Amino acid sequence: MAEKIFLSPKHSISLSLSLLSAAFLLLPALASPAPTPTPAPWPAQFHSILFINSSKGVLQVTDLWYDWPNRRNFNIIQNQLGKKLYDLEWGNGTSYYYTLDANKECRTMHFAVGILSPNWLDGANYLGQVDKDGFLCNVWEKVDFIWYYEDVATKRPVYWAFYTGQTAHVMTFEVGKVLDDPDWQAPVYCFEETEVNTDALESEFGFPAHRSLIRGVLPSIHSIV
């Protein structure tokens, strides 16, 4: 026989009050579960000046011209008191690395991958917030290859670091800025069959973590693109 339980009015009021307060306690959590921040996609076109410290402590100032609609990317790299190197990357996989000095060095390379797409940070792991270079940043990590810091207030990148130890501080971030077409032309000696000394060129480039980022050539970052 089922036993019937009668609650006195007093009991039922206190019961519904406690249910009510329990509901109120749960409500904020249910109504606004704090969403995990996601990185802003890269603008389709932008210009950035990057202050780069290679894993070997070599300092560089790099002009980064990212141009996704035209499937091209340009890194113009000034080594501290050293060579200025041009790293021109096309979406069809061809890259030209050259100087524009009297040495006329150029090296052409072919890759199986194109240019990194604007949403390449999709799926990155959120690590939380830290203060970086004086900016409060959200931080993500992607495939143990890159740690990416984005300004909470403006959603602009502030800094990134590669697993190699190479770091980049973002000094300017000009959305929509495009380099004029003629400046994307590799010099004529890149198209000559002459033998050039590329050893010096290679060593000046150092470990190519940065250009690997845009190219996505490292095996570990392959899954990014």
Ligand X SMILES: *[C@@H]1O[C@H](CO)[C@@H](O)[C@H](O)[C@H]1NC(C)=O
Positions touching ligand X (CB under 6 A) are 53, 57, 59, 90, 92, 94, 165
Shorter beta-carbon distance to ligand X: residue 23 or 59: 59
In angstroms, what is the minimal distance from the CB of 57 to ligand X? 4
**DSSP 8-state class, residue 62:** E
In angstroms, what is the minimal distance from the CB of 29 to ligand X? 43
Shorter beta-carbon distance to ligand X: residue 121 or 147: 147
Asked whether the beta carbons of 178 and 80 are under 8 A apart, the reply is no
In angstroms, what is the minimal distance from the CB of 55 to ligand X? 6
In angstroms, what is the minimal distance from the CB of 165 to ligand X? 5
- Phi then psi for residue 27, to 5 deg, are -55, -50
Structure token pair of residue 61: 């100032």
Shorter beta-carbon distance to ligand X: residue 123 or 165: 165
Question: Which sign does the torsion angle of CA 39, 42, 48, 50 carry?
Answer: positive
Shorter beta-carbon distance to ligand X: residue 120 or 162: 162
In angstroms, what is the minimal distance from the CB of 50 to ligand X? 13
Asked whether the beta carbons of 224 and 145 are under 8 A apart, the reply is yes
Shorter beta-carbon distance to ligand X: residue 88 or 213: 88
Asked whether the beta carbons of 79 and 57 are under 8 A apart, the reply is no
Q: Nearest CA to 112 among 96, 94, 98?
A: 94
C-alpha to C-alpha distance for 222 and 113, rounded to whole angstroms: 9
